Structure 1
Amino acid sequence: MVEYTSEQGAVSVSSSVFSNITGQAATNCFGVKGMAYRSMTDGLVHLLRREAMSKGVNITYNDDKTISIELHIVVENGVNLPAVCRSIISEVRYVVTKNTGVTVRAIDVCVDSMIL
């Protein structure tokens, strides 16, 4: 959780806020089918529905009040993976910083599966 304090009060931004913003930004990029989640029971990758997108995002809080993000995604078959990943990194960094004011130190995009 990131907390801002001023003479007017305090504001806390939880992990679920970062996860939801990140999931929305990533799935709006071209070539992304959705967020992915690897099941611990069967080891298979599952495409997450919109309401469960936050399971495909891991947020790490750094000591310098920045965050690091790890995304697990499913992409369409035949897309240029480096281009899609660059687009996601750029979009997520911009949207998270714009909406929360928190600096994003690192974004790791893990492509877990491709769908036809």
Structure 2
Amino acid sequence: MVTVQTEQGFIRIASDVFTIIAGVAATNCFGVKGMTVRSVTDGLVHLLKRESMGKGVHITYNDNGTISIELHIAVDQGVNIPVLCTNIIEEVRYKVALATGVEIKSVDVFVDSMMIG
């Protein structure tokens, strides 16, 4: 949870807010098939449904009040992965900062799977 101080008082923002904003921003980028999670039991990567995409986003709270975001995604076949990841990083950084006012230290994108077809 992050606490933001304003002139009127304090605002506390839960980690679910960050995961939802980041997940929606990432999945709205062209070429992203969805968020992924690696199964603990079988080690396989699974595509998450839209309502549970927050499991593919990990938020780390840094000591200086900033956050770091880690995204696990599946991409469409044939996309330029470096260009796509750069777009995702910019979009997530912008959307999260705009909605919350919290400074983003880093956004890391992990391409766990490529969807064929």
Smaller-chain TM-score bracket? over 0.9
CA distance in 1, matches of 2:71, 2:26: 8
2:104 paired residue number: 104
Report the AA paired with residue 2 of structure 2: V
CA distance in 1, matches of 2:67, 2:28: 21
Q: CA, structure 1 residues 111+102, in 2 after alignment: closer, same or farther (shift >3 Å)?
A: same
- Identity among equivalent positions (%) equals 62
Are the aligned partners of 2:4 and 2:102 in contact in 1 as well (CA < 8 Å)? Answer: no
Alignment of 1:47-66 (within 5 A): 47-66=47-66
- Aligned residue pairs total 116
SS of residue in 1 equivalent to 2:59: strand
SS of residue in 2 equivalent to 1:17: helix
SS of residue in 1 equivalent to 2:109: strand
2:13 paired residue number: 13
1:23 aligns with 2:23: yes
SS of residue in 1 equivalent to 2:63: coil
Segments of 5+ residues of structure 2 without an aligned counterpart are none
CA distance in 2, matches of 1:8, 1:98: 19
TM-score normalised by L of structure 1: 0.96
1:87 aligns with 2:59: no
CA RMSD of aligned residues (A): 1.0
SS of residue in 1 equivalent to 2:75: strand
SS of residue in 2 equivalent to 1:51: helix
2:36 paired residue number: 36
